[in-house]
Amino acid sequence: MRTIARPSRLTLAGACVALWVGLAAGNGAAAEPPVRVGVLAYRGGDHANAVWEPTIRYLAERFPERGAVMVPLDLSGMDAAVRARTLDFVLTNTGNYVELEARYGVTRIATLHSSRAGASGGSIGSTVIVRADREDIRDLSDLRGRTVMAIDPDAFGGFQVAWGEMLKAGVDPYRDLKELRFSGFPIDRVAFAVRDGESDVGVLRACLLEELVAEGRVDARRFRVLAPKTVPGFDCALSTDLYPDWPLARLASTPEELAKAVVVALFQMPDDHPAARAGGYEGWTVPLDYQPVHALFRALRIGPYRYLRDVSLVDVAREHWEWLAVGALALLWWAVHSLRVEHLIKVRTAELRAANRDLVHEMAERRRAEETARERQKEMDHVARLSILGEMASNLAHELNQPLGAIANYARGCIRRLEAGTLDPAQLAEVTGAIAEQAERAGQIMARIRNFVRKRAPQMEPTDINEAVQAAITLCQGQAHNGHVPIALALSDDLPPVLADRVQIEQVVLNLVKNALDATVGTAPGAAEDTRRTVRVRTGRDGKGRVEVAVTDQGHGLSEEARARLFAPFFTTKPDGMGLGLSICRTIVEAHGGHLWATDNPGGGLTMRFVLPAIEESETHDS
């Protein structure tokens, strides 16, 4: 990002023009940070980069103004980043999404579309594997008393889906197993542990086994899949139902327009796009229904349904003590139950209160953030104004030096002659006249600057473009003069008036001429090149009868890149420019129903041109 230049003499050469009015508009669109996409790196950062970086690059290409960055995160990092709202979007697994949705109000805007999707569109499930030679484990119910390794308690396909399936088979992995181990990310270890006999059973995200086989890292014949299921259209080994694939979700704080634009960009991604191939998907589709995921989580009492877990001990107790004296238990149960209810109410009330506090806190924080942003905007405007004032002050000082210096010389000369007794009255009269004249000249400079600086509402009136051009040229004569660059005027004298705010148009011309002077002064002076060192200002009519003003320099011209961004706010080729001048000029010209553009000169240098509708046409053109 460009830094805001400290006020300095050359800063914003053109931005003398920077109308106080135009400034805010100029700043608004600027400096948008890149789109930040948090990506769950379930197999480590490198893998995530390989798989998702092309997708993020695709987005970056679709948002050339902003770009997009990928933020690889593990599960806890994801939670923290969403909480801190340092992301615009998250691309994460299904389970994590449901959790983030319930906790932070993230909303899915698109779901990955996979070639392997089943009829429901779902494509995520679990594969429960054992070593091929473990004849003793034939079904999920055989897991009781075995060692099971999964990826992570929070892994969706890598554990939770299988967990639901195990519960259905009557095995609670947290209670009935000999040992439940979690390998952590990256997840390849599960397959190795099963192969090497470190664990009896392994839980993998569906299709991961196929991926590992395809990468040549394991041998498919070494494994057997427990409780295999077939789902039409889904060709990976599977032990469970299928759930929707990864969604891309927006944060609550992400602007609506940005979310829309991102959805449009993703939906337009062709099936065979390199990003899709790298990500192992085939484009994006409308967000799928994640209700089955909620149902699963409710059954597992995890994620957003974790609070249900509090009841489970009682449930378990009830299951096992049913055969005891039913009457006594019923009494006890009632007692316990009412206590529980009260407790639950208390807990929920406390949670609600905490949530409320958080909300209030969050709102205050957001307000603070908004205020900070507003402050910064104001500061930026202020800096822009200061730098303009700085330049004006410098010009002013230089211009005033002449009459003031002359006055001093006259006065000192008078004193010396008085002392020497050589002052004759006729000379004195002449010189005092000259002093008065120079004082007036200084006064005129001040008045001109005051006129220029005064804040005013635009006044549209029939304006002679030549007069406006001449007034602007007068204001840059000083600079032209100092840089030894003559300004050549070619003003057409049969031009119709334009309906314009004369001061604004003067400021546009001033800005263009100042830029041209800066560009020309940059080239080395040399006697032979004298004709090159001229800035030409021409007025005339274009083919459509509009009034045209062209400012031509013989300076260094523009690179392709500079040309593309010429009118972008904060773009500048000057070492200490702010890059607001042309952006504001264009705003002004367009507000007048005109058009401002740049063309290369055949002999080098640049021509800036703008057209304004002539008054006799403005009635028909006005809409």
Neighbours of 195 (CB within 10 A): 17
Q: Which of 301, 385, 441, 538 binds another protein (CB under 8 A)?
A: 441
Interface with another protein, residue 470, by CB under 8 A = no
In angstroms, give the least distance from the CB of 409 to another protein.
3
Interface with another protein, residue 474, by CB under 8 A = no
The contact mask relative to another protein for 368-407 (x = CB under 8 A, - = no) is ------------------------------x--xxxxxxx
Q: Which of 49, 377, 409, 607 binds another protein (CB under 8 A)?
A: 409
Interface with another protein, residue 444, by CB under 8 A = no
- Exposure string of 586-613, with b = 16+ CB inside 10 Å and e = fewer, is bbbbebbbbbbebeeeeeebbbbbbbbb
Tell which positions 64-93 bind another protein, by CB under 8 A.
none
Q: Cα(247)–Cα(286) distance, rounded to whole angstroms?
A: 10
Cα-to-chain-centroid distance, residue 520: 36
One-letter identity of residue 219: D
Q: Which of 178, 416, 456, 621 binds another protein (CB under 8 A)?
A: 416
Backbone angles phi, psi at 35, to 5 degrees: -70, 125
In angstroms, give the least distance from the CB of 413 to another protein.
4
Interface with another protein, residue 609, by CB under 8 A = no
Residue (of 505, 519, 511) closest to 593 by Cα position: 505
Interface with another protein, residue 604, by CB under 8 A = no
Question: By C-beta, is 55 or 395 nearer to another protein?
Answer: 395
Q: Cα(74)–Cα(95) distance, rounded to whole angstroms?
A: 13
- Helix boundaries (H) for 459-580: 465-482, 502-521, 560-564
The contact mask relative to another protein for 168-207 (x = CB under 8 A, - = no) is ----------------------------------------
Question: By C-beta, is 413 or 604 nearer to another protein?
Answer: 413
Question: By C-beta, is 451 or 477 nearer to another protein?
Answer: 477
Question: By C-beta, is 401 or 451 nearer to another protein?
Answer: 401
Q: Which of 361, 481, 544, 621 binds another protein (CB under 8 A)?
A: 481
One-letter identity of residue 324: L
Instruction: Tell the residue number behind the tokens 């300004």, with chain if given.
Output: 487
Q: Cα(141)–Cα(571) distance, rounded to whole angstroms?
A: 67
Residue (of 437, 623, 608) closest to 515 by Cα position: 608
Tell me the window of 115-123, 203-211, 357-365, 411-419 that interacts with another protein (CB under 8 A). Answer: 411-419
In angstroms, give the least distance from the CB of 421 to another protein.
11
In angstroms, give the least distance from the CB of 405 to another protein.
5
Question: By C-beta, is 404 or 460 nearer to another protein?
Answer: 404
**End-to-end CA gap in the chain:** 38
Backbone angles phi, psi at 549, to 5 degrees: -125, 130
Output the CA torsion sign for 238, 108, 40, 282.
positive
* Measured torsion, CA atoms of residues 520, 522, 524, 526, in degrees rounded to the nearest 10: 30
Interface with another protein, residue 484, by CB under 8 A = yes
Binding residues for another protein (CB under 8 A): 398, 401-410, 412-413, 416-417, 420, 422, 431, 434, 437-438, 441, 481-482, 484, 486
